[in-house]
Amino acid sequence: MPLQSSLNIQRLLADKQIVVPDYQRAYAWDIPSDSSRSSQVDVFLADLERHQLSHSRSPYYFGHFLFERTAEKLHIIDGQQRLTTITLFLQALICRLRTLRALNEEEESCVRDMIRCGHLLRFQTIDYDRQVMNDVVFDGVKIDYSALETKSALRILRAFDYFTQQLRDKPLAWLVRMLAVVAQARCTAHLVHDKAEAIQMFIFQNNRGKRPSNLEVTKAQFMYAVHLRAEDPHLRERLIEDLNARFGRIYKAIASTGYRIDEDDVLLYTLRVQHNSLWESAPLESIEQALSSDDALDFIQRFVKLLEASFVYLSAFFGRDEKEHFAIHSLVCLGSLAIALPFIIKAYRQVMPMENINALCSAFEGLLLRHRLIGSRADLTSRLNDVFATFCESDADIQPLLDRIAHLKSAQKGWWAFWNDAKLEEALEGDISHASARHLLWKYEVHLEGEGQQGYHPRRFDRIERPELEHIAPRSEPSCDVHGYGEYSEDFRSLYLNCLGNYLLLSKSHNCAVGNIPFARKLATYNHSAQQREIQSFLGEDGVWGMDAIDKRHERMVGVLMQQL
């Protein structure tokens, strides 16, 4: 049956097998999170339910779809998120219906037309998620979330499980009506017949509304450029195959880190490495300019190879190496590493010894923590860009970078003196954000635990059970007459309650348990870490946790942290 401009969704799916082409983005719709914000998946279901309850005579409208047609298949250009969700919802609905009774002939026809034909799914998602989609929708295979290789595959499984849960208690009559609503829903469709035009339409369609990631747009632009510029069909096929394989490995690298790296950030870092400049800030414009040059195909091959390598390097950095090397773990825990990661990519690319990578991470941790604590508006990029330009240019020597960071920490005046020891000590005397304070208290704990010990293995931050910041002297004065925190004077409230000396690192459960209780009772619970046990040593004969005790501990902590940072 020829595809028409207006038809119902059952006829659309029954016409030909629909596939997501390789230049498309993967499934991106989410289920509701713990927050009250709606997601695309629950809005999809809520809209269908509202339409069913309205008893409207007009069919539901699924929107417009854009396709490229080949001899045997329809390649979807715009609308794959909706079609993926429709397929998942229909399968969940049919599964629920079959638990109540056998399907009648009309319902079996819906299954044949909209879900599967023989051993094939009517709708096939992007290549690297296709097996998961087939296992979940066609075979009903139970899949462990932890076994999934891509974020999009995780979203597919979560959406199907969400629909299954939402339909679990729906009565038979509701299910039958809903199947009819979906099967009879209307849509409009438009066809293009040229591969290059199809990719161009994808880029245009997805520059409106919710945009795909920059990485996805880049992939589509590369595909489009190959179809336009590679006149030799064998070369074109080889380049497309190479692009698909490399992007497949990129998505798996993202998944292997537990999605701790943002794909668009890595695209930007890779361009900074490619151009040897930390000032690169507009990836799509830069790539578009490169694709307009005469050597566009050479650029694509070089850049995609470097891009894949960047994802692989950062997958190792945030995965295997973060688990094995404390310096890497410490930097990763600090977060906000945009200035450091282009250096990391270069270091891995040069096969830098792990000893040097650890030194690099320790140096950056101290500098970035200083930058965060001091709160200077001065820009680190301008102070490091010249070192980055020559970093790992011919060998794995990191000394120029270490010397520059040391200079930033020691300079006393002028353009460089925003991150020196005097500025750091001043910052440690003032209010510190909770995130930074937690990191500092963890570093202090590592120092205390390792003091005077041989072969000490530092305690990782993720070994602390849900770490929280405790105010030893509570921010609100306890109501009892003798609470053990001294007088809550104006100076005590403004200068002491929110200083480093009054902060303690506790697990969430411990923090909830001690709350606003008197100090003597709170002190009795402080036996789970070195910094908790150390509190006793700062008390005077009166056993009060007041200004004097906080001053002593604060001075001790600042001295230790100044040495570490």
Question: For 172-201, how does the pLDDT look when each residue is reduced to its tens digit (9 = 90+)?
Answer: 999 999 999 999 999 888 887 766 766 766
Residue 117 lies in a domain: yes
17-19 and 6-8 as β-strands: parallel, antiparallel, unpaired?
A: unpaired
Return the structure tokens found at 265.
Answer: 């950030």
At 364-419, the pLDDT tens digits run: 999 999 999 998 888 999 999 999 999 987 666 889 999 999 999 999 988 899 99
Band the pLDDT of 34: cuts 50, 70, 90. low
Of 139, 169, 194, the last residue of a domain is 194
Report the alpha-carbon distance of residue 483 to residue 516 in Å, rounded: 9
> Residue 266, class by beta-carbon neighbours within 10 Å (0-12 exposed, 13-18 middle, 19+ buried)?
buried
Of 158, 178, 194, the last residue of a domain is 194
Residue 341 lies in a domain: no
Question: How high is the pLDDT of residue 325?
Answer: 95
pTM > 0.85: yes or no = no
Residue 221 lies in a domain: no
Band the pLDDT of 540: cuts 50, 70, 90. confident
Tally of domains within the chain: 2
Of 140, 159, 194, the last residue of a domain is 194
At 452-468, the pLDDT tens digits run: 676 678 888 888 878 88
Question: How high is the pLDDT of residue 116?
Answer: 79
DSSP-assigned beta bridge partners for residue 505: 469
Half-sphere exposure of 9 (CA within 13 A, CB side): 27
- Give the Cα-Cα-Cα angle 152, 157, 159 (nearest 5 degrees): 90
Domain with 532, as residue range(s), is 465-564
Return the structure tokens found at 388.
Answer: 């980055």
Q: Which residue has the tokens 């002939």?
A: 105
Residue 103 lies in a domain: yes
At 155-165, the pLDDT tens digits run: 999 999 999 99
DSSP-assigned beta bridge partners for residue 321: none
Report the alpha-carbon distance of residue 344 to residue 28 in Å, rounded: 29
Which CA distances in Å does 439 have to 276, 424, 452? 32, 15, 22
Residue 366 lies in a domain: no
Question: How high is the pLDDT of residue 308?
Answer: 95
Residue 15 lies in a domain: yes
